[in-house]
């Protein structure tokens, strides 16, 4: 029977989840979410909404987005067509990994998902044309609580694997983080 494999990331509470497919002559069946298996790894996740991000061109950047309290939300993100470089940033001031980031390639081929805790910024860069991601989120979208970070912020120093060619005006103009030297 299909099951899920959980791998810790360097950021506390964030996980990579990979299915173990059941394969026969018809193709394969994979489990993408199981509340019990997630809970066995200390991950409580109550799906409030599911979304898809459909991206026409390689080099499309979406992010770095988050939603703040009182409606912060966690996500589980999986690439179902194409490939992305997916990045998360820990925005929990009390965390030992505050402002550290982690990136992983998600693809239809590797079938990995990324579990993103509340109070993390999230973004991705498409590596192929016609890339699609599916999200499960544990809270509802509330625009007035939406925030973002610049994908090219020198404080974060994210090493994106290719040039950004397509980006929204909002994502390009999020404010830079402040360093100790400038405030």
The neighbour count for residue 32, using CB atoms within 10 Å, is: 15
DSSP 70-97: TS---EEEEEEESEEEEEEEE--TTSTT
- 3-state SS assignment for residue 162: coil
Identify whether the C-beta of residue 17 lies closer than 8 Å to the C-beta of residue 110.
no
Distances (CA, A) of 64 to 17, 25, 176: 21, 41, 12
Cis geometry, peptide bond prior to residue 70 (ω within 30 degrees of 0)? yes
Give the C-alpha separation, 177 to 33, whole Å: 35
Q: Which residues are catalytic?
A: 65, 135
Q: Among residues 55, 113, 108, 50, which one has the least CA distance to residue 86?
A: 113
Identify whether the C-beta of residue 45 lies closer than 8 Å to the C-beta of residue 38.
yes
């Amino acid at each position: 029977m299909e099951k899920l494999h959980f791998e810790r990331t360097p950021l506390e509470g964030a996980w990579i989840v990979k299915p173990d497919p059941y394969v026969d002559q018809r193709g394969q069946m994979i489990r993408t979410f199981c509340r019990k298996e997630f809970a066995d790894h200390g991950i409580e996740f109550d799906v409030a909404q599911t979304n898809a991000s459909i991206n026409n061109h390689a080099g499309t950047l979406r992010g770095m987005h988050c939603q703040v309290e009182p409606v912060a939300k966690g996500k589980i993100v999986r690439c179902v067509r194409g490939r992305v470089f997916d990045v998360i940033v820990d925005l929990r001031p009390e965390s030992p990994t505050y402002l550290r980031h982690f990136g992983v390639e998600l693809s239809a081929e590797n079938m990995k998902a990324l579990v993103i805790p509340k109070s993390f910024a999230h973004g991705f860069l498409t590596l192929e044309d016609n890339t699609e991601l599916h999200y499960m989120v544990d809270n509802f979208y509330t625009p007035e609580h939406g925030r973002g970070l610049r994908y090219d912020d020198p404080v974060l120093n994210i090493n994106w694997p290719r040039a950004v060619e397509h980006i929204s005006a909002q994502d390009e103009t999020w404010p830079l983080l402040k360093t100790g030297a400038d405030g």
